[in-house]
A and B are shown apart, each in its own frame.
Chain A
């Protein structure tokens, strides 16, 4: 049970404007692919493309070699789970009800969750450290807790591929690392491939084997963190001065911002 999602030279956008242009990316089983880039560079649009929520204007998105558009939504949902950035909460469902919705693609349309589904949902909640909040309405939770509930829902889908759009934004340090540890562990143990949009370049360096640096909807650089995260490339992509050093323990690059005047504090 493992699948490959690939986008081949995809272009799409909204209205007359192209937001993603000619992007090629492959998420193979067990891979953790990071997507980085400045605001508005098309990261979220790329996630929407790979999830099938948005159709490419040109190019193809494939799941295990078959065009996504040719597959039923239920089938895609059994294999690909998405954690979106600003998911709306339109009704006062409880935390457990929300996570159980991840089981919906695996169940007949009107079926009630079986014991096994409850076990999976509660295990997913435990993985994101929220097992004691299952009876709370989702609206009563903090932003970070909600984000973890949505990740638990994605885990309950038991997907072969995870697409995560800035999953760590609202999280504290412990849970940022916690969530990405879960993603990595799923990749190692079950061959789940993941594409993760990250703003934190240091987390990207720590967890991703492969990075995609998007600028203006195009892939500016792609490769392992050590190749992509260089002072020149980041300055070019973000228009910001940074210092790139080495992590004393992992040896991966670490990225530190610099003041615009380039001077030290004081």
Chain B
């Protein structure tokens, strides 16, 4: 099953993608096109291939089979479940991402401050990133990818290790990034272009709130690929239906 996609060339296209780790088939025969403006949720049990698929899309995991095509030139970034911040100030941590992409260090530090303000952490610009709470660290990581002005953002369970309060804060920031027009929280969002997102999550409520399209994976295969409304209201393969109901086969 696959949804009707927006017209135009996809940002990324996977065809027959497969990844094998020794005897383990982590991904098998995955076809996926990511179009600009989409917010795609990857759901499935642990070990179903969500993280592997995200790593493939970001070029961190080579394919054993199939191919990944970047049809339209774009900037992309990835956010991890547990962000890695250097034992340095949050400003340096954000600036590092820019510097690694070719910006001058002085300019990178100035832009880092703007990015930190965007996630409400400008007061902690000089704080050692390693000493922040989990939620604050994830917000710094969001500032880092926001500063890169990525058009495609890949998020691997970005809120799963956070407490409920931090989870709400980070989810709100992701929502702002993904669809700034829908969330009016201040002048900072004015004129900001929406960011195409592909994220994995075990939180079905979050999927309903953030996604426009849902992929259900099981044992490395995509068993359902539907618009979010159809996924939660229409017919589903049995495995996906049981997963949504919180049961297993």
**Are A and B physically bound partners?**
no
- Spell out A's residues near B (CB within 8 Å): none
